[in-house]
Amino acid sequence: MASSRACFLTVALLLHVAASSIFISMATPIISSTTSSSTRCYKAIYSFGDSLADTGNDAYDDTRTLPSSQTLALNLPYGETYFHHPTGRWSDGRLIVDFIAEKMGLPLLKPYLGIKNGNIKDWNPTEGVNFAVAGATAVDSSFYLEKGIYNIATNYSLGVQLDLFMDLLPSICNSSSGCKEVLGSSLFLVGEIGGNDFNHPLFLYKSITEIRTYVPLVVNQISLAINKLINLGAKTLMVPGNFPLGCNFRFLIMYETADKSEYDEVGCLKWLNKFTQYYNKQLYAELNRLQGLQNQFQVLVVLLELQTVPMLCVVAIRG
């Protein structure tokens, strides 16, 4: 394997390029990989998150009847520019996780639910897997149902995704030392996750004051997931923050106002982007706290200037 420092910087740079390119075209080839197996930074990738990372789990979910809003990615134009057919990705082409896998010389991640239900049969346990599900929240969906937020798209929260990972773990490694070796040479993408914890209540016009009270809960769930993965043997974790919600076209339509002072110089809602900054700062503070507890951590923070709001990304390496 390549040196951990070189891999560390490669992942951070790749995320910066890939995420910045979202606003250009996800169909544009960002990188190409000529990585050999002997020089790979990581032997596998394990991904958790929502639609920004879902490579098809939503399409293979046979536990429920999907609402029409959750089946859009099963039809064109989704998938038309690279795969030339829908794959369940919420993109016309590849996702950031796909570009990372390509750069690392690894196969594109297969969705766990497709593996679990037997529809995907060519999966190799050593190549990694994707647990991200479109619409997923960091906090369990039952919390929002109790709050009267009934538009939660799925119950595959971050905790549930971790449970699925634990179910799969015996297929990946069969001893504590073996797991530490395998997981220690893998890259873990923990997110983006948490955006839907705010999107769903915003779609119901819940007050930003109420939504701010959810931030500590979201950050705590992400923190618990990171700690669990570290204890299992993970050494490299990438934790993205949230995108600028005030630039989301749905919120621009829903919360449109004639008051021009509510918008910034590029036309995004300032109050929603201020909330995004608040959340990202809270996540950053918690990751710094974790660093203090795990004194063997080295943490690199990459601020991605997307529109007017920095998107927080932390790549943490232990060991």
Question: Which distant-in-sequence residues (6+ apart) come within 8 Å of 269 by Cβ?
Answer: 245, 246, 247, 251, 252, 255, 262, 263
| CA separation for the pair 110, 112 (Å, rounded) | 6
Give the pLDDT confidence score for residue 316 in this predicted structure.
56
Number of domains into which the chain is organized = 1
Q: Which residues span the domain enclosing 168?
A: 4-318
Instruction: Tell me the average confidence (pLDDT) per consecutive run of 10 residues in the chain, 319 residues long.
Output: 62 59 35 51 93 92 71 89 92 92 92 93 89 96 95 92 96 92 92 94 97 98 93 88 92 97 95 94 87 61 49 54
Distances (CA, A) of 303 to 13, 77, 158, 287: 11, 31, 24, 14
| CA separation for the pair 306, 316 (Å, rounded) | 22
Q: Identify the H or E element spanning 297.
A: strand 297-306
Place of tokens 């990738």: 45
Q: What pTM value is reported for the model?
A: 0.88
| CA separation for the pair 98, 93 (Å, rounded) | 10
Say which CATH number the domain at 41 has: 3.40.50
Nearest 5 degrees, angle CA 296-CA 18-CA 96? 80
